[in-house]
Amino acid sequence: MFLTLTNLGSGSRGGTRGCAGELTTMGSWEVAGKQVVLKDRNGNAIARLYKTADARFDGSTNSGQPVSLSR
């Protein structure tokens, strides 16, 4: 997954390589309150992540597929 700071609608451009399921449709992301929302290319939310450690976010897609991001 890559998350850029390039504006795209109400969020920023992003995408995935090698992911499965709903994550293959990711086109953007945004921070909404205390969550990171991953969106498809039409701007619909497909996953929500919450900070669980200093450099880690965990959550799930709308269908329940677990998602973890770390750097």
CA distance 34 to 42: 23
| pLDDT at residue number 67 | 92
Domain borders along the chain are 7-70
Handedness of CA 7, 17, 40, 51 (dihedral sign): negative
| Segment 47-70, tens digit of pLDDT | 999 999 988 999 999 999 999 988
DSSP state of 33: T
| pLDDT at residue number 38 | 93
65: CB partners within 8 A, 6+ apart: 20, 21, 22, 23, 47
Q: Which of 1-10, 11-20, 56-65 has the lowest mean pLDDT?
A: 1-10
20: CB partners within 8 A, 6+ apart: 65
Q: Which two tokens stand for residue 29?
A: 């992301």
